[in-house]
Amino acid sequence: MKTKRQGQSKLFVVLATLLAIVFFSFAGETDVKAAEAYTQNYTPTRKSPLKKIEYINRGDNTFDINVTVDLSVYYPNDVLGIQEYDLTAWTNGTSGKEYVASQCGNIDVGKYVHTHQIRGEHRKHVKPGEKFWIKYELCKDVQLEEYGPYRDFEARELTAPTIKGPEQTENLFSKVNRYTWSVKSSNGKEYSEINAEMEATKAPGQGESLWAYNKDDGMIYGRSFTNKIKALVYRDLESKEIDITGEKTGMVLVIAKDAASAKKAGDAITLKDSDRVIFDQAAYTKSVAAKDYKFQMSSDRYDQLIGYIDASSYSYATAHIVEVYNYSTKNGEGSLFKRYVIKGSDNYQRSFKLTGLKPGTAKHYTVHLIRTDSSGTEYEYIDNQYWTLKSASFKTPSVSGVKFAPKKAKLIINVPSTQAGKGLSTMYVYKGNKKIKTIKSNGKTRITFVYSGSKASTSSYKVKAVCAKNTKITKTSKAKKPVASKYKRQGWINPNINAITPYATATFVRLSND
Q: How far apart, in whole angstroms, are the C-alpha atoms of residue 456 and residue 274?
A: 94
Q: How far apart, in whole angstroms, are the C-alpha atoms of residue 228 and residue 200?
A: 6
Same domain, 125 and 14: yes
pLDDT recorded at residue 259: 96
pLDDT in tens, the chain (514 residues): 333 333 333 333 333 444 444 443 344 445 555 557 889 999 999 899 999 999 998 878 889 999 999 988 888 878 778 888 888 999 987 778 888 888 888 988 889 999 999 876 668 889 999 999 999 988 887 666 666 666 678 999 999 998 765 555 789 999 999 999 999 999 989 999 999 999 999 999 999 999 999 999 999 999 999 999 999 999 999 989 999 999 999 999 999 999 999 999 999 999 989 899 999 999 999 999 998 899 999 999 999 999 999 988 777 778 899 999 999 999 999 999 999 998 766 678 899 999 999 999 999 999 999 999 889 999 999 998 999 999 999 999 999 999 989 999 999 999 999 999 999 999 999 999 999 999 999 999 999 999 999 999 999 999 999 999 999 999 999 999 999 876 555 555 555 555 555 555 555 555 555 4
E strand spans, 130-246:
131-141, 146-147, 156-159, 162-164, 173-186, 189-200, 209-214, 219-224, 228-235, 242-243
Q: Is there a contact between 335 and 329 (Cβ–Cβ < 8 Å)? A: no
Same domain, 18 and 129: yes
Q: How many CA atoms lie within 13 A of 260 on its CB side?
A: 0
When divided into structural domains, the chain yields a total of 5
Sequence letter at residue 276: R
CATH code at 383?
2.60.40.10
Same domain, 131 and 241: no
Same domain, 44 and 132: yes
Same domain, 257 and 234: yes
Q: Is there a contact between 373 and 281 (Cβ–Cβ < 8 Å)? A: no
Domain stop point among 337, 370, 390 = 390
The radius of gyration computed from the CA coordinates of the chain, to the nearest angstrom, equals 48
pLDDT recorded at residue 6: 36
Instruction: Please name every residue paired with 496 in a beta bridge, in sequence order, or none if there are none.
Output: none
Instruction: Please name every residue paired with 410 in a beta bridge, in sequence order, or none if there are none.
Output: 402, 450
Same domain, 229 and 375: no
Same domain, 296 and 409: no
Same domain, 182 and 118: no
Residues of the domain holding 271 = 173-286
Provide φ and ψ at 274, rounded to 5°. Answer: -75, -15
Kindly report the pTM of this predicted structure.
Answer: 0.61
482: nearest Cα among 426, 427, 429, 438? 429
Sequence letter at residue 282: A
Same domain, 154 and 214: no
Same domain, 295 and 264: no
Domain stop point among 117, 136, 164 = 164
Same domain, 335 and 371: yes
What are the residues whose beta carbons fall under 8 Å from the beta carbon of 474, sequence distance 6 or more?
A: 464, 465, 466, 467
Domain stop point among 140, 164, 188 = 164
Neighbours of 242 (CB within 10 A): 15
Same domain, 192 and 110: no
pLDDT recorded at residue 461: 97
